[in-house]
Each structure stands twice: as C-alpha cells, then as structure tokens.
Amino acid sequence: MKRLATALVLAVVLGCAGTVFAASYTAPSIDIKVSVPRQFAMDYWVYDVPADSTNPSVDGELLDPGAELNFGEMTWDEDYGIWMAPKYFCVFLAARTSGDPYKITQTCYGFKSGTKDLTKSLVMTPDYQALDRWDPDDPTTAQTAMPPTDALGAPDLAVGADKLVYTGNSGLTRMVRVYYGLWTGDANAKGYADLKDKAKVVTGEQPAGPYSGIITFTLTSL
C-alpha cells in the first residue's frame, strides 16, 4: 500500500506541471493623425538636344529653370534646300494634383521677327515613354504604360492657344514629354503623319533675322 500511494501522488504532481494558462490584455487605443496638404502644381525639366539624337536625357544638356529655348543660328542644307536647326528641345512635365483628374495644355505666342513669322515651322510633339522615371523615392523604377483612361495630345504646330499635351483622367502623376523643333519634313520624324499637311519647312525665301516667341504650360483640373 505504501508504494501505490507514492505513485499516485507523483502522477498528480506531473499532471499539474503540464497545464498552460493563456492570457491577453488590450491597452487603450491611441489616435494617430496627419494632414496632407492638397497639391496642384507641375514640375518641368528642359533638355537642349542635338538634332541627330533620339535620347534627350542622355545626349541632351539639362537647362536651368526658366532658360530660353534658343535654337541658335540655322544652317543651310544643300541636299534638301532648306534651313535646319542644329538642335531641338525636350520638355519633361509631371503634374501633382493630389489624385484629381487634370489636363496639361500649351500656348505659344508668336514666333516672329517684326512682321515676319515662323508660325508654321515651329512644331510641338507630345510623347509618353513607359521607361521614364520621375518618382524621387523610387528613381530606378519606370513609370510603366500610360493609364488606360489617360490620353496624349496630338502633334501640332506650337503657335496657338491651348494645345493639348496630356489628359490625366486617372489623376496619377505621370512624366510626359513635349518635343519642340523646326519642321524639316523628315518622314521618319515622330508625329510626321499629323504634321505633314500643316507644317512648313524653312526655305531660302524666309526673311533673315532673329525670331522669338513665348511658350506657357497650363495645368487645369477636370
């Protein structure tokens, strides 16, 4: 009897040692807040690009903010019998609208020299490149394809009011390009199909002199 009693006592003690008690406690909640100001602004960068380059951000020179788009002195092309500019310009635009739909338009005043003008020779060509990168927090990642609800403006003569550059119905920030050049009639140039019936080359009849104008970009909410 003494041995049996001892065995029973040990069994009870071991059983108690294996029991687990779960517990939880939730502290009082703590509010967390921040206020993000509404944005409605547009960033831009301008590159001065050699005429034979197709990669503005690699071959071009980044201009200071507010710098003029100076094509310099044109050169005569004996093969085609026209004046040609030694460069073109690429303007990069990125709208910040706090997610609201928007559109970007361009207006160009003039491009004249006294009573003479080059209004049918200065062309603007909007462009979207999926590999362009604009996010400062993620500078190595491309922006990818244009959102399906967004739309790019058509190539057009630069001179005129409210030329459409981009419609951002998605409200997403996207980098958009606008190329500015003097029309040469090159069938391989981007936007040729849209411009061939309205743009004019600069011929030997064009009066000499300095020509100038003003370009403005406008960001509008939709």
Phi, psi angle pair for 104, to nearest 5°:
-115, 130
Strand ranges across the sheet with 122-127 = 61-62, 41-50, 87-96, 175-182, 122-127, 156-157
3-state SS, the chain, equals CHHHHHHHHHHHHHHHHCCCCCCCCCCCCCCCCCCCCCCCEEEEEEEEEECCCCCHHHHCEECCCCCCCCCCCCEEECCCCEEECCEEEEEEEEEECCCCCEEEEEEEEEEEECCEECCCCEEEEEECCCCCCCCCCCCCCCCCCCCCCCEECCCEECCEEEEEEEEECCCCCCEEEEEEEECCCCCCCCCHHHHCCCCCCECCCCCCCCCEEEEEEEEEEC
Question: What pLDDT, on a 0 to 100 scale, did the predictor assign at position 6?
Answer: 41
Question: What pLDDT, on a 0 to 100 scale, did the predictor assign at position 3?
Answer: 44
Q: Which residues of the chain have pLDDT under 50?
A: 1-14
Question: What pLDDT, on a 0 to 100 scale, did the predictor assign at position 19?
Answer: 63
Using CA atoms in the order 43, 177, 85, 200, what is the torsion angle rounded to 10 degrees? -120
CA distances from 46 to 71, 84, 91, 136, 182 (A): 13, 21, 4, 18, 17
Q: Select from 163, 143, 144 the least CA-distant residue to 215.
A: 163
Residue 67, both tokens: 């710098």
Strand partners, 92: 45, 177
Q: pTM of the entire structure? A: 0.85
Residues 128-149 have pLDDT tens digits of 999 998 877 787 889 999 999 9
Residues 60-101 have pLDDT tens digits of 999 999 899 999 999 999 999 999 999 999 999 999 999 999
Strand partners, 108: 160, 215
Question: What pLDDT, on a 0 to 100 scale, did the predictor assign at position 4?
Answer: 42
Longest dimension (CA), the chain: 130
Question: What pLDDT, on a 0 to 100 scale, did the predictor assign at position 135?
Answer: 79
Question: What pLDDT, on a 0 to 100 scale, did the predictor assign at position 9?
Answer: 45
